Amino acid sequence: MRMTKAFIPTLRSTPAEAEIISHQLLLRAGYIRKSAAGVYTYLPFAQRVLKKIEDIIRDEMDKAGGQEVLLPIIQPAELWLETGRWHVYGEEMFRLKDRHDRDFCLGPTHEEIITDLIRGEVNSYRQLPLRLYQIQNKYRDERRPRFGLMRGREFIMKDLYSFDKDEEGLETSYQKMYQAYTNIFTRCGLKFRPVEADSGAIGGNVTHEFMVLAENGEASIVYCDDCDYAANIEIAPCQPVEIGNEKEDIKPLEKVHTPNVRTIDEIVKFLNVNPQKCIKTLFYKADEQVIVVLIRGDRNINEIKLQKVHPCYSLELATEDEVRDITGCKTGFIGPVGLKEVPIYADLEIKNLVNAVSGANEDHYHLVNVNGNRDFEVTGFYDLRFVEVGEQCPKCKSSLKMARGIEVGQVFKLGTKYSEALNAKFLDENGKENLILMGCYGIGVTRTMAAAVEQNYDANGIIWPKSIAPYHVVVIPISIKDEDHIKNAQKLYEQLIDKGIEVVLDDRNERPGVKFKDADLIGFPIRLTVGKKTVIEGLVEYKLRTEQESIDVPIEQVVNKVLEYLNT
Ligand code: ATP
Ligand code: MG
């Protein structure tokens, strides 16, 4: 490819709308352009990167027994009504009607469609196991599309679905996919970690997310250095931590005047108490029902855990009015004492609190010396909070660490969730009818591209891992007015092409400084500069994007040197 012909519209400055580095660099270096919030055009260099990621994925999926298919993007509502997910998916689903007023959606995922296919085609154990995958656009009307390719509304995903006759088969499929994912992200040159995760709207119970470790990751993960434990904090279990007042004598309940003291911070200052001794009371609207959560003042509520305890489609903090209807007071003064007819879910740590502080359900008053066993009743005690740095590893009791991660892939054991809903059965060896066991396995292809940039860049631009770089090499003639420069560069360019190396010849009539800047910004792994030294001494300047310094290599050795680097 000649730079004069390449469609790679680089920008001088960083577009203001781009908050994170991958978004900024992919725009600036001419890889992507936005057409609507969360909807992007992939320009030629991006398309090459995506194809390389997809090729690695295909190779590993095929090795793990996958067969590629292509499922429809437009999906009929009936299938989604059969599994009940037409409603579960809520506003995230792009819905449309055809001319006959029939409901459809743009596929956010494909469990329904593929299970429908399988129930029609598979009826015997002899046809199992089956592993089918596709690489295709997905559509999700995300609440907050942002960060460029990271959270799009139209994005590319690889999704594989496994179908097995028994648990053992499902376990084999799961392990094969887990290993394939490990191979894929390793081959893409990424630093990543598989973590235990939540199964969300997809369902099932065993699941791992593959997290690329990066500061800008939206996910928080906890991990242990002394064993292999790692989990998304959404699901990381918490043990109650004692605060050392458990032996205190129980004191009489007291109401205190606390004018305009509403937040935990304010109450801590006003009453001079430890936030650990405060009971934070939160009112939620779970679908149409109001529920109450109690958690220690210094902790954060984990809504995913809450939703497991109290299953519901939507979960939002209740409004000031809804709170007042039940308690007769403002949100700053609510507490568990005297609350009736609402489910109260308390975090495990609430059980141990002695002589705690809470709102009095009366404006400008709090209660001190609140004691659970004596002063209020709860529906139950559950693990409802986020784990924190330094808490005990649930596996080995060592101290937990925390990092940010970008979820690039997830593997799920679905079990019979979809085969049951859609009645996908087969006859086993004994002629008995059984439900098919399923798994599903997704990789965000476009998100993986963004994650690769998040992990590989410097002040000058992108540093593509060589396995997914759009081109391996850029050849830069110092002056295109000098015929000897051009001739040598052209020759080298052709020799590289002959060896199957992907190379760009920067034949633009620009100053070398401009070309070097662009080469760094675009992120070619290898830069070869041809100039006076080449003409006089037969030396080419060889520079790796990952290194600061260049070396001079005799022109006849350059191709081998490049091959050697690319093949290791
Ligand atoms: P998230 O929690 O980030 O919203 P998810 O858990 O809903 O993602 P899955 O259904 O597991 O996503 O989809 C499989 C993969 O698709 C994810 O691991 C991620 O890499 C990718 N992906 C999901 N949503 C998006 C999106 N909005 N934009 C780009 N990639 C996405
Ligand atoms: Mg996921």
How many CB atoms neighbour CB 18 within 10 A?
Answer: 18
Q: pLDDT tens across 107-135, in order?
A: 999 999 999 999 999 999 999 999 999 99
Q: 140 CB less than 6 Å from ligand 1? A: yes
What per-residue confidence (pLDDT) applies to 216? 86
Give the ligand 1 atom nearest the CA of 109: 10
What per-residue confidence (pLDDT) applies to 203? 53
Give the ligand 1 atom nearest the CA of 157: 16
Residue nearest to atom 4 of ligand 1 (CA): 151
- Ligand lying nearest the CA atom of residue 442: 1
Two tokens, residue 5 = 């012909």
Phi, psi at residue 258, to the nearest 5°? -130, 70
* pTM for this model (two decimals): 0.90
For tokens 């399923």, name the residue. 438
**CATH architecture classification, 254-382:** Alpha-Beta Complex (3.90)
Look up residue 470 and give its DSSP letter: S
Q: pLDDT tens across 233-256, in order?
A: 999 999 999 888 878 899 999 999
The mean pLDDT of 206-214, rounded to a whole number, is 94
Among the ranges given (14-18, 103-107, 281-285, 468-472), the one the predictor scored with the smallest mean pLDDT: 14-18
**Domain 471-566 CATH class label:** alpha beta
Look up residue 112 and give its DSSP letter: H
Residues of the chain with CATH 3.40.50.800: 471-566
CA of 402 to the centre of ligand 2 (A): 19
CB distance 446 to 144 below 8 Å: no
**CATH architecture classification, 21-190+412-454:** 2-Layer Sandwich (3.30)
Q: pLDDT tens across 472-528, in order?
A: 999 999 998 899 999 999 999 999 999 999 999 999 999 999 999 999 999 999 999
Residue 550 buriedness (CB in 10 A; 0-12 / 13-18 / 19+): middle
Residue nearest to atom 18 of ligand 1 (CA): 409
Confidence band, pLDDT 50/70/90 cuts, at residue 138? very high
Q: Which neighbouring-strand residues pair with 443?
A: 158, 409
Q: pLDDT tens across 175-200, in order?
A: 999 999 999 999 999 999 999 998 76
Q: 152 CB less than 6 Å from ligand 1? A: yes
Q: pLDDT tens across 344-380, in order?
A: 999 999 998 999 999 999 999 999 999 998 999 999 9
Residues of the chain with CATH 3.30.930.10: 21-190+412-454
Confidence band, pLDDT 50/70/90 cuts, at residue 47? very high
Residues of the chain with CATH 3.90.960.10: 254-382
Residue nearest to atom 22 of ligand 1 (CA): 444
CA of 444 to the centre of ligand 1 (A): 6
